[in-house]
Amino acid sequence: MKKLVESVGFIVFVQGVAGLLHEWTGWFRLWAVVRRIDFLSENQTFAHAVLVVTGVAVMVAADSIKE
> pLDDT for 45-55, tens place per residue?
899 999 999 99
> pLDDT for 20-49, tens place per residue?
888 888 876 776 677 777 787 788 889 999
Angle, vertex CA 31, rays to CA 39 and CA 25, nearest 5 = 90
CA–CA distances in Å: residue 55 to residues 9, 17, 41: 4, 10, 21
The answer for residues whose C-beta is within 8 angstroms of residue 29's C-beta and 6 or more apart is 22
| pTM score, whole prediction | 0.84
How many helices (H) and strands (E) in the chain? 2, 0
At 37 the three-state DSSP class reads coil
